[in-house]
Structure 1
Amino acid sequence: MSRPTPRARAAAFALSTALLAGLTGCDWPDVSMSPGIAAEAAAAEAAAADETDADETAAGETADDEVAAQSTVPAAATPSEPARPAGDLDAGALTRALPAGDRTVVVDYWTADQATTWTAAGDKTVQLSAHVEGGDGETEVLVTRFAATTDDGTARVLAAEDRGEFALMPPFSYTTALTLTGATPTATSLTLTVQFDLLVETEPGSSRYFRQTVLDTLELPLLQEDPS
């Protein structure tokens, strides 16, 4: 191969210089970020801003709700006087079955008064009827003493006492009425205690007896009267 002549080398150099000058005068495009990536970044920034605004709005609404709830909380109720407890004769009548050996003494209590309105000062009328159930039906059973007492927490009073001898086996019963007089003015309840002293025949027709005592109590709450 022949070597290039000086004229050919000069022409090649001139052509290279012209190309380099042309390239130097051109403006290169901005290739720092493609259009698609820039759009995605802008959308992400907008979404983050929307979330921040939504969080701030929700926080403000929650604070407003808490303030409103606090303003609507009712004031604490003023303590009132304790309610009157239920009494044994509030319904007007009551039956109790009291064990007495192999028998049962059944006592029916009742009142014509309105027991829920009883006060310490007023009189209270209670009636009762007692009979025996069970046993052999032939053994004699007698009431030899009946007593009723009241206790208001301060004073104890004998309301009634009966020392006769009364048959109590079927078809007989023991019936009486009690008038309970005024109690201590500050009393809040009255306890009525009834006692039956029984003589029970050891065997039918033997005329020999043993004694049994049967007790029962009723709770009778009292209303407090206005001192004025």
Structure 2
Amino acid sequence: MRAGRARRGLAGLGVALTLGVLLSGCELPDVGMSPGLAKAAPTSAAATTAAPAPPVAPVAATPTTPPRTAGDLDTGSVTHTVAAGDRAVVIDWWTDQEAAAWTAADAKTIQLSAHVEGGTAEQEIKVTRFAATADDGTARTSVTEDRGEFVLTPPFSYTSALNVAPSAATATELTVYVQFDLLVETAPGSGEYFRQTVQDSIELPLAQETT
């Protein structure tokens, strides 16, 4: 009886040892307190990087007009007085057009009238040549030339109209020059004359295209 119990005890011990060895080779799963809740996946670097800002549309530049200085005929007319010995030649310039809006491409119509003030009224004065030229900074061109002989003795005056052709496209200013060649009697009734040359000019800034 004792031998039989001993054999059964040894057999049970062997089974227990075998089960212990087998169980030691297996790893039990880690069961949390809430097996129904899955762990949150780690956020990737790509997911945390801020999305690039949308491209900004370029803003169109506001058109600007180059600055323009005031011109002699912006108000419509101007009067110049030029000394000529003991006299003065008074030259009135004017236009019926809007001079402040003139561009290089515009044809320009300018009028002028000249008369003499001072001196001895009995001395005869004549205009023997009148010439006008226009200079736009790139070229100087003839506007008109009059070689007639005209009395300028007061109260008479010399009047002319100037038709100025369009300027070069790059021109920013136009200068109009005039010249009067005068014959002045040396003494009243002498019939003898001396020559005087009188020159004048006006500045006409040109409006520029918007850029």
TM-score (norm 1): 0.63
Percent of aligned positions that are identical: 64
- 8 Å Cα contact 2:66/2:208 also seen in 1: no
Residue of structure 2 equivalent to 1:125: 109
Per the alignment, in what secondary structure is the counterpart of residue 179 of structure 2? strand
Residue of structure 1 equivalent to 2:41: none
Residue of structure 1 equivalent to 2:122: 138
Q: Counting helix residues as a fraction of each chain, which structure ranks higher? A: 1
Residue of structure 1 equivalent to 2:67: 83
Residue of structure 2 equivalent to 1:205: 189
Residue of structure 1 equivalent to 2:24: none
In 2: Cα distance, 1:207 partner to 1:226 partner? 59
Uncovered stretches (5+) of structure 1, i.e. residues with no partner? 1-77
In the TM superposition, 1:70-219 aligns within 5 A as 82-219=66-203
- 8 Å Cα contact 1:149/1:160 also seen in 2: yes
Per the alignment, in what secondary structure is the counterpart of residue 176 of structure 2? strand
Q: Alpha-carbon deviations, 1:69-123, whole Å to 9, x = none?
A: xxxxxxxxx9x65410000000001011110000000011110000000011110
Q: Considering only aligned residues, what root-mean-square deviation do their CA atoms show, in Å?
A: 1.7
Q: Alpha-carbon deviations, 1:150-206, whole Å to 9, x = none?
A: 001111000011000101111100001111011111000000001000000100111
In 2: Cα distance, 1:90 partner to 1:178 partner? 17
- 8 Å Cα contact 1:133/1:169 also seen in 2: no
Per the alignment, in what secondary structure is the counterpart of residue 99 of structure 1? strand
- Displacement of 1:223 in angstroms is 1.2
- Displacement of 1:211 in angstroms is 0.4
In 2: Cα distance, 1:114 partner to 1:98 partner? 26
TM-score (norm 2): 0.68
Q: Alpha-carbon deviations, 1:121-162, whole Å to 9, x = none?
A: 110010001000001110000000000000011110000110
Give every structure 1 segment of 4 or more consecutive aligned residues whose post-TM-superposition deviation is greater than 2 Å.
Answer: none
Uncovered stretches (5+) of structure 2, i.e. residues with no partner? 1-61
Residue of structure 1 equivalent to 2:34: none
Which one-letter code corresponds to 1:165 in the other structure?
E
In 1: Cα distance, 2:191 partner to 2:91 partner? 26
